[in-house]
Amino acid sequence: MAASPAERIPERYSRRTVEVRDAHAELLADFRAGMLEPPRSLPPKYFYDARGSALFDAICDTPEYYPTRLEASLLERNAEAIIAAAGASTLVELGSGTSRKTEYLLAPLERAAGERAHYVANDVCAEILDEAGARLVERFPQLSIRALAGDYIAALEALTDDEAESGHGEARLFTFLGSSLGNFEDAEAIALLQTIRRTMGPDDHLLLGLDRVKPVDVLEAAYDDAAGVTAAFNLNLLSVLNRELGADFDERGFVHRAPFNHQASRIEMHLVAQAPQQVRVDAFDTTLELTAGEVIRTEISRKFDATMIDRLLAGSGLLRDREWLAGDGWYSLLMLRPDSEA
Ligand code: SAH
Ligand code: AVI
């Protein structure tokens, strides 16, 4: 049997699972809360099995999905200054995915810190962590990498525990890129920022990428690309549910839609039942009855304006050191630090 990427690179890469509660129990609770009755919805973290992660990576390469390219251009131009300002030897990333854009930061981090350069990568998808880890140890010969497979909150808790064991070390740069914070409602987003804030030491920084509001045709095309990659990503959720819950969702019975909700300033990803459907779910010993046209909301992706960003920061205990904007104000990269008064 071929060795997995993680087995081939034991020295500078390690991965462990972190959880607040068992991942399957969490899916059961989220499905119970959101899927048994209409209006139906699920949190977006269940998209990311190995296939979902590969599909997200393919979305980033579609001509319509501008956020990755805009954020990459901001990182490429400002990475040196960001690492110098952070004065950090450790980079902690939430929802790291392939870590492709992170490479812009890891290069100056390694140049500045040499063998002290350390990358803590967190993602719910263990496969994508191992794949990225294998690539990064090859590319960065002095970097050590610790992967935390699990939810953002579990990773932040694990970091707090590790910190308590080892005492406060050098300054760290936390990153939360790709506008992943936009996948949370306001109250949840503020709570997550507060948890990050509590995990940070006084000299740590947070680099936060946020997508901005822009013309609706650009937004809707980004979430419904012509090649159908985003549609496949959305529909893949049904195969995750079939596998994990013993369900029998039929992908052919649903279509992908991604309308912009102006009032809430967010794209909503929907799976819309094309006809009445009966869906067996063994894990709940039940059959869901979906009507024709019924929507399962699978994701929100908020598009921020200046007021929304100010409100987020005001509630989070974080202060803005700097903000870089891409193009016509289409994407924001914010350098934040803990408010010592908060
Ligand atoms: N940061 C990368 C990837 C963004 S895609 C970029 O900017 O391109 C979102 C990533 O976060 C995926 O890799 C997904 O597996 C991970 N993810 C989604 N929800 C998560 C959660 N609740 N906790 C930890 N990781 C999560
Ligand atoms: C990860 N997250 C920020 C992406 C987004 O844009 O909301 C996920 C995505 N969904 C569809 N396309 C991309």
The predicted pLDDT at position 1 comes to 41
Secondary structure element (H or E) that encloses residue 313, with its range = helix 306-316
* Nearest ligand (C-alpha, residue 131): 1
Rounded-to-integer distance, Cα 89 and Cα 91, Å: 7
What's the whole-number mean pLDDT along residues 214-240?
Answer: 98
Residue 157 tokens read as: 């808790």
Q: Is the pLDDT of residue 290 over 80?
A: yes
Q: Is the pLDDT of residue 302 over 50?
A: yes
Q: Is the pLDDT of residue 29 over 90?
A: yes
Q: What is the pLDDT of residues 115-174, one digit of tens each?
A: 999 999 999 999 999 999 999 999 999 999 999 999 999 999 999 887 765 555 789 999
Q: Which atom of ligand 1 is nearest to the CA of 96?
A: 1
Ligand 2 atom 7: the closest Cα is on which residue?
301
Q: Which of 45, 105, 301 to mutate to test the pocket of ligand 1 (most atoms within 8 A of CB)?
A: 45
Distance 123 CA to ligand 1 centre (A): 6
Region of 269 on the Ramachandran plot (φ > 0 left; ψ -120 to 50 alpha; else beta): beta
Q: Which atom of ligand 2 is nearest to the CA of 56?
A: 13
Q: Which of 60, 64, 71, 180 to mutate to test the pocket of ligand 2 (most atoms within 8 A of CB)?
A: 180
Residue ranges with strand state E in 102-193: 118-123, 144-149, 172-176
pLDDT above 90 as % of the chain: 92
Distance 114 CA to ligand 2 centre (A): 34
Distance 341 CA to ligand 1 centre (A): 30
Distance 124 CA to ligand 1 centre (A): 7
Q: What is the pLDDT of residues 242-287, one digit of tens each?
A: 999 999 999 999 999 999 999 999 999 999 999 999 999 999 999 9
Distance 99 CA to ligand 1 centre (A): 10
What's the whole-number mean pLDDT along residues 18-37?
Answer: 95
Q: Treating both helix axes as pointing N-terminal to C-terminal, what angle do 103-113 and 66-86 enclose, rounded to 10 degrees?
A: 20
Does residue 123 have its Cβ closer than 6 Å to ligand 2?
no
Q: What is the pLDDT of residues 178-217, one digit of tens each?
A: 999 999 999 999 999 999 999 999 999 999 999 999 999 9
The predicted pLDDT at position 5 comes to 52
Rounded-to-integer distance, Cα 327 and Cα 82, Å: 19
What's the whole-number mean pLDDT along residues 301-312?
Answer: 98
Q: What is the pLDDT of residues 88-119, one digit of tens each?
A: 999 999 999 999 999 999 999 999 999 999 99
pLDDT band at 327 (very low <50, low <70, confident <90, very high): confident
Q: Which of 183, 211, 230, 260 to mutate to test the pocket of ligand 2 (most atoms within 8 A of CB)?
A: 183
The predicted pLDDT at position 3 comes to 47
Better-scored residue on pLDDT, 341 or 50: 50
Q: Which of 70, 299, 303, 331 to mutate to test the pocket of ligand 2 (most atoms within 8 A of CB)?
A: 299
Rounded-to-integer distance, Cα 122 and Cα 151, Å: 8
Distance 180 CA to ligand 1 centre (A): 7
Does residue 98 have its Cβ closer than 6 Å to ligand 2?
no
Residue 284 tokens read as: 């709940």
pLDDT above 70 as % of the chain: 95
| 3-class secondary structure, 258 | coil
Distance 234 CA to ligand 1 centre (A): 15
Residue 150 tokens read as: 């699990």
The predicted pLDDT at position 286 comes to 98
The predicted pLDDT at position 168 comes to 55
Q: Name residue, tokens 């500045």.
A: 112
Partners of residue 300 on adjacent β-strands: 268
